[in-house]
Structure 1
Amino acid sequence: IRRAARHGFELGMKQPFFYQLVDVLCQEMGQAYPELVKAKQAVIKALHQEEERFAETLEHGMKILDEVLVRLDDTVIPGETVFKLYDTYGFPVDLTADIAQNKGLTLDYEGFESAMEAQRNRARAANHFAVDYNDTITVETETKFTGYGTLEANACVVQLLSGGKVVDALSAGEEGILVLDKTPFYAESGGQTGDTGVLSHAGVKILVTDTQKQGSNVFLHHVKVARGNVKVGDELVAQVDAKERSEIESNHSATHLLHAALRQVLGAHVQQKGSLVDADRLRFDFSHSAPMTAAEMLEVERIVNAQIRQNYLVEADLMTIDAAQKRGAMALFGEKYGAEVRVLSMGGFSIELCGGTHVKRTGDIGLLKIVSEAGVASGIRRIEALTAAKALAWIQETDRQFMYIAELLKSKRENSAEKITQLLEKQRKLEKELTLLKSKAASAAGSDLTANAQLVSGVNVVAAQLDGADVKSLRDTVDQLKNKLGTAAIVLASVDGEKVRLVAGVSKDATDRIKAGALVSMVAQQVGGKGGGRPDMAQAGGTDPSNLLSALASVTDWVGQQLN
């Protein structure tokens, strides 16, 4: 798509065009691919938006690349440059290669790969998981998961690992990974985080801080021995943290209702593209090309909470994948399914394939509150939401803040919005009045400064400090002085705390001899700053007000040197 867009761009097609081919595509291929016809409007919309986004990337990237090519002394574009175009400006490597080939150039692919690998290493270093031993363990037996129906089980230790090595025992204070023959601990999968809890027997207490999975049938318990010793062959009582599991299940079940509600409100094009479900919140990524409106979010929230109040029974059934699809079950993004799948249904409103743990009835979720919606990638939106007690706590805190705002406004809660609107309107009027007063003050100051102008080789020079003036007032005063003085070079300054504001102006008939940008830069350098602008108007800032008076005093001599 992007290569076609680039060629169109080179042929002078500055507006999106590729999406117009969808009609022809449906005519030619619609019979073989009926889903293409069903999704026609979604495809057109997605293509159109992709072209618009890429047009911005392309135009900016082409300018950057052209600047690089002008300075290039070789026939090879450096890998660092290719990586910068890709990483910073979103310019695809294959397009850079196409452009290079058309100009008889090549890319330093080795340098590009080195830069990419350096970035990957930085990302790995930033990850808080220093070492991941999950994939290095070889376990002969499988773990039987018993956690759908119970949070406690008697189990046998079949393997221990510490520091990436298989060990026979772990002692008090040591951390490691423990494998059981069976477990009620759910291992992280499908976006649901792993369970925590306790493993114990006489004189032994082991804290389970996380549960991960190796393959599909080995559960790895990340543990810290709090008391006693544990060795291979020990019998333990495994107990999942019931409160945390309940919170996770509320959030997980809510994602299913949320998915169904989003499809109902936004359309059947919505597909899950990722999720994270833990005890604190749920995060749900889905395909959609535009930000949700406030009305859409409220409607989704209303629908989900209506299903929660219906208190539907949450049922899980095992069946073949074909039977599940005939039943209308949705397969979720990124999941792999075997011959037999687990179908989770909630009152017929939501039917999905899912291996996670869930509430017994939708009413157990209590409440869902959407707290944010944002884009995370092209065509991918993300919702974050809270459920149960945490949703209620969020609403109560928001309500408390709203009550405090009403107190500050000295109004009733129901009148707060109107009161804020009135205050904003009053503020706008005051700002207009202030702007007018500043303009009048600038005009008066301009009249006073005119009398102080120094004539240098036919150019009227003014350099002065105006207390309390903002940048706009300085610019307005400069314009007024240029109009009154005719041929002129002017620098005006003001101080705000430790910040210096500078504006310079040069009449157009003098810009061939004096540049406003050079003038303001000369003053700015003396007050710890820099700046620039047009030949007739420029501005700058500084951080050293103590040198301002001497800097302004140097303007007349500097102008004289430029003129001579």
Structure 2
Amino acid sequence: MPVALSGNQIREKFLQFFESKGHKRLPSASLIPEDPTVLLTIAGMLPFKPVFMGKQAAPAPRATTSQKCVRTNDIENVGRTARHHTFFEMLGNFSFGDYFKREAIAWAWELVTVVYALPADRLWVSVYEDDGEAFGLWQEVAGLPPHRIRKMGAESNFWESGPTGPCGPCSEIYYDFHPERGEVEIDLDDDSRFLEIYNLVFMQLNRDSQGNLSELPRKNIDTGLGLERMAQVLQGVPNNYETDLLLPIIARAAELAGKDYFQLSEADKVSFKIVGDHTRAVVHLIADGVKPGNEGREYVLRRLVRRLVRRGRQAGIAGAFTQKTAAVAIDLMGGAYPNLIERRSAIMTMLGNEEAAFLRTLENGEKLLADILGRSRGTVSGEDAFTLFDTYGFPLELTIEAAAERGLAVDLKEYEAKMQEQRERAKRAAKTTDLTGGVDLTGVPATEFVGYQGLTAQARVLGILNDGKAYGSANAGAEVLILLTHSPFYAEGGGQVSDRGYLTNEAQDLFVIIEDVQKQGEIFLHKGKIQQGQLKAGEVVICRVDLVSRRLLQAHHTATHLLHAALRKVLGEEVQQQGSLVAYDRLRFDFNSPRALTPQDIAQIEQMVNTWVMEGRPVGAEVMPIAKAKELGALAFFGDKYGEQVRVIGVPGVSIEFCGGTHASNTIEIGPFKIVSESGIAAGVRRIEAVAGVALLGYMRTREQVTNALSSEFKVPVEQIPQRVAAIVGEAKQAIKQVDSLKSALATARSEALMSEVEQYGEFRVLVGHMGDTEPEPLKAAAEHLLTRLGEGAVVLGSAPAADKVSLVAAFSPRAIGMGLDAGKFIGPIAQIAGGGGGGRPNIAQAGGKQPEKLKAALDQAFAKLYDTFNE
């Protein structure tokens, strides 16, 4: 019988065994690989790839390791299958041109049958179909009969490092959980019976750029034994999650949720398994120096933390919990991986911050997600998925996963289109380092800004640019960039958009509209459209800033300073500006804050700003030495660089800040101030949008038009609109519930007519049927109803709810699942026939498609597969 060993004992016995065979024990490499082409360490051999490629000297002729690995390619299967993980440990023994097949096979067999005491009659082996040497060695060295050595193709038994380079056949050892099923018609890919525990790669060949294979001068051995898999076998548990490597973390999570893990259904265990798996992954990633972010491995970490948090909430854990499960994981693995102990504080801090940041937006996001899933029929729109990502930080993968749990797909094409629109907006918003299109501005003097003193100025035209070229003149209709000696136009900067206005000349036969002004270094680039006349390089022009636009900008910019001061008074002096936008129609102000503002906070801030406005406080601007400005307490932010002389804007008793923007001369010029929104935009960063002065009239006019239209439509006074809307929404929700209930009841009733088509195969009953135009949710209800009527067996239903939509559902009984059926894996290939896909749990899964004309073929294939299963 197998020796019952703990996970730590399995690891240590492996390493000790190969040390006894002359191998040098090496520590696990970091999860951040040295290979820049790989995001994370995904295999035990990865740290030795340069050695195998001949680019680096071997650390020893023979080596053995326990390598930590992270993979996310099968993340949707984590927790749902017995042995899929993101984090896992790969035990390996390696030969760098020292020993080869005979020794690798002999030691592998000795390890599993002597050290781990696995019964030889429970072990099967696969070899590459052309590797006669390995086939013979397994008989000679291990004494395996030929029928327990299976020859398999290159897809499963030929290892490659890439399209070129070292490669070779491999041989795998499988453990048989059900030898009572006999040794005839064996399929080693049957996960319900066999588990691959050990893979031996015989790296003996090299593939050149033409695809030709040749023998390597040095032949290597690369092996991998899955620690979690061996623990499952030796500890006699049904899956990797219930080994001592993971169960303590899972049990802690269940305790936090007030539940007994072993009393839960298999479906309810999934979330706890994911918590256990992801906890191990994130503590190791953080310990190895990965930080949460939005790209590369940083995004992998952020995605895992968010998945972990969401699954914990779904499992019933209230509030923050990741530090508690992480503590268990660190204690479990700290002996084997000391850096977990050393980095405990950093792990806890980073994990706590990331969880807190996600929790702040998760609640509202989950409400929106639930609403989206509730109103989606068959497919979640790409626009909704994008909103969840863009506004609430929900990774697309989480939305897809949540949708699949409800039998819904996500319109990925529309989602990508929305993402592309955002990328294009970002490109348009971004200012390149060379706004001239490549024109050399060497020798062009800096533009002298005279817009603080007045809105009109005379200037000489130094250059006219268009499409990356300089011109001596430009005529009416041309859009050009204009270089001037002086400019009253404020160039965009410091969060403030540029002034607008026009150029003319003394003769009044020239008129150029100035739409935008940007800076390249110290030179202003005036984007102009010539409406009349001819603009000539060297001529003198009259520059006029549009008065109304300038006053709108001044009002909004000074208002941001008052808003900043009010925030610091209400929330505390730790509040600092993180970014801003000063535009004609509004202002936007980003600031750090540990919490969202309450309605009371907003009201207090608004009142404070409006009080300062009405008091008519003077607004002063002064250029002074930076040392003096700091002595006065002037605030400077965002890590801006300042010269020895700085411009300071002060409002007596309220605010003093470094600022180069244009401002009102008195707060009374700002006019009424109104906060229109407050939201979170990043971890610990909030955003306020507000409107002031004349711009507020446009804001109020738009809302007045909306409320008047609603008042007319509902035939109620404006003040009664909220009650009327609430009543209509309530009635609509109730009507939708009633309709959905009726649809489900109707589908269930219609499904009774299919009972005459039930096929009996021994103790199992099978029903495959077409349900007309039934929608996805009622179709699922019908399948569940029919399975209850059948007892043990399988139900597959299909429908075409629209001209371009197919809905499919598969429901399998527990004993059918025991025969190897899995609804999630079964329904996907069936849906592909109808131009779609999908998946779900082993007992019930839904899928969709876009080709109703192929629904019959899909159902026929489903029936054929079920027929084969129940007639084996």
Instruction: Give the TM-score taking structure 2 as reference length.
Output: 0.48
User: Structure 1 residue 259: deviation in Å?
Assistant: 1.3
**Among 665, 671, 679, the residue aligned to 1:366:** 671
Preserved CA contact (<8 Å) 2:464 2:474: no
Q: Letter of the aligned partner of 1:149 in structure 2?
A: Q
**Among 787, 809, 814, the residue aligned to 1:503:** 809
How far does the alpha carbon of each residue in 1:4-60 deviate from its partner, in whole angstroms, 9 at most, with x for none? xxx9xxxxxxxxxxxxxxxxxxxxxxxxxxxxxxxxxxxxxxxxxxxxxxxxx9xx9
**Among 533, 553, 557, the residue aligned to 1:227:** 533
**Equivalent in the alignment of 2:67:** none
- Confirm or deny that 1:450 pairs with 2:755: yes
How far does the alpha carbon of each residue in 1:126-179 deviate from its partner, in whole angstroms, 9 at most, with x for none? 457674249952347554433223111233445666666776x33425665544
**Among 476, 487, 492, the residue aligned to 1:183:** 487
Q: Letter of the aligned partner of 1:170 in structure 2?
A: S
**Among 646, 649, 666, the residue aligned to 1:344:** 649
| Secondary structure, counterpart of 1:138 in structure 2 | coil
Say how many residue pairs are matched.
472
**Among 154, 162, 170, the residue aligned to 2:458:** 154
**Equivalent in the alignment of 1:208:** 514
User: Structure 1 residue 362: deviation in Å?
Assistant: 2.0
How far does the alpha carbon of each residue in 1:499-537 deviate from its partner, in whole angstroms, 9 at most, with x for none? 222111122222305443455345424432223333332
User: Structure 1 residue 314: deviation in Å?
Assistant: 2.0
**Equivalent in the alignment of 1:197:** 501
Q: Could you list the runs of 5+ residues in structure 1 that have no partner in the other structure?
A: 1-6, 8-56, 77-81, 94-101, 104-121
| Secondary structure, counterpart of 2:541 in structure 1 | strand
User: Structure 1 residue 369: deviation in Å?
Assistant: 3.2
**Among 520, 529, 532, the residue aligned to 2:836:** 529
**Equivalent in the alignment of 1:484:** 789
Preserved CA contact (<8 Å) 1:156 1:181: yes
Q: Letter of the aligned partner of 2:811 in structure 1?
A: G
- Confirm or deny that 1:540 pairs with 2:847: yes
Preserved CA contact (<8 Å) 1:376 1:382: yes
How far does the alpha carbon of each residue in 1:274-298 deviate from its partner, in whole angstroms, 9 at most, with x for none? 2232323323222224443444334
Describe how 1:323-342 pairs up with structure 2 within 5 A. Answer: 323-342=628-647
Instruction: Give the TM-score taking structure 1 as reference length.
Output: 0.71
**Equivalent in the alignment of 2:768:** 463
**Equivalent in the alignment of 2:718:** 413
Preserved CA contact (<8 Å) 2:584 2:695: no
How far does the alpha carbon of each residue in 1:60-92 deviate from its partner, in whole angstroms, 9 at most, with x for none? 9x976869999994999xxxxx9x996256349
- Confirm or deny that 1:396 pairs with 2:701: yes
- Confirm or deny that 1:132 pairs with 2:438: no
**Equivalent in the alignment of 1:46:** none
| Secondary structure, counterpart of 1:90 in structure 2 | helix
Preserved CA contact (<8 Å) 1:456 1:556: no
Whole-angstrom CA distance in 2 between matches of 1:428 and 1:306: 44
Cα gap change, 1:496 to 1:144, in 2 (>3 Å): same
Whole-angstrom CA distance in 2 between matches of 1:297 and 1:393: 21
Whole-angstrom CA distance in 1 between matches of 2:866 and 2:850: 24
Whole-angstrom CA distance in 2 between matches of 1:381 and 1:357: 25
Preserved CA contact (<8 Å) 1:460 1:489: yes
Cα gap change, 1:334 to 1:208, in 2 (>3 Å): farther
How far does the alpha carbon of each residue in 1:369-388 deviate from its partner, in whole angstroms, 9 at most, with x for none? 33443444433333333333
User: Structure 1 residue 539: deviation in Å?
Assistant: 1.6
Whole-angstrom CA distance in 2 between matches of 1:399 and 1:69: 70
Cα gap change, 1:510 to 1:147, in 2 (>3 Å): closer
**Among 448, 459, 473, the residue aligned to 1:170:** 473
Whole-angstrom CA distance in 2 between matches of 1:458 and 1:92: 47
**Among 662, 665, 687, the residue aligned to 1:382:** 687
Q: Which moved more, 1:271-280 or 1:424-433?
A: 424-433
Whole-angstrom CA distance in 2 between matches of 1:69 and 1:123: 47
Cα gap change, 1:352 to 1:549, in 2 (>3 Å): same
Whole-angstrom CA distance in 2 between matches of 1:270 and 1:163: 44
Q: Percent identity?
A: 35
Preserved CA contact (<8 Å) 1:367 1:392: no
Preserved CA contact (<8 Å) 2:751 2:771: no
| Secondary structure, counterpart of 1:540 in structure 2 | strand
Q: Letter of the aligned partner of 1:402 in structure 2?
A: T
| Secondary structure, counterpart of 2:649 in structure 1 | strand
How far does the alpha carbon of each residue in 1:282-322 deviate from its partner, in whole angstroms, 9 at most, with x for none? 23222224443444334333332333233322222333334
- Confirm or deny that 1:356 pairs with 2:661: yes
Q: Could you list the runs of 5+ residues in structure 2 that have no partner in the other structure?
A: 1-29, 31-71, 79-84, 93-158, 167-289, 302-336, 339-422
Whole-angstrom CA distance in 2 between matches of 1:275 and 1:433: 48
| Secondary structure, counterpart of 1:273 in structure 2 | strand
- Confirm or deny that 1:87 pairs with 2:394: no
Cα gap change, 1:561 to 1:416, in 2 (>3 Å): same
Preserved CA contact (<8 Å) 1:513 1:563: no
**Among 570, 581, 589, the residue aligned to 1:265:** 570
**Equivalent in the alignment of 1:278:** 583
**Equivalent in the alignment of 1:320:** 625
Whole-angstrom CA distance in 2 between matches of 1:536 and 1:69: 34
User: Structure 1 residue 555: deviation in Å?
Assistant: 4.7
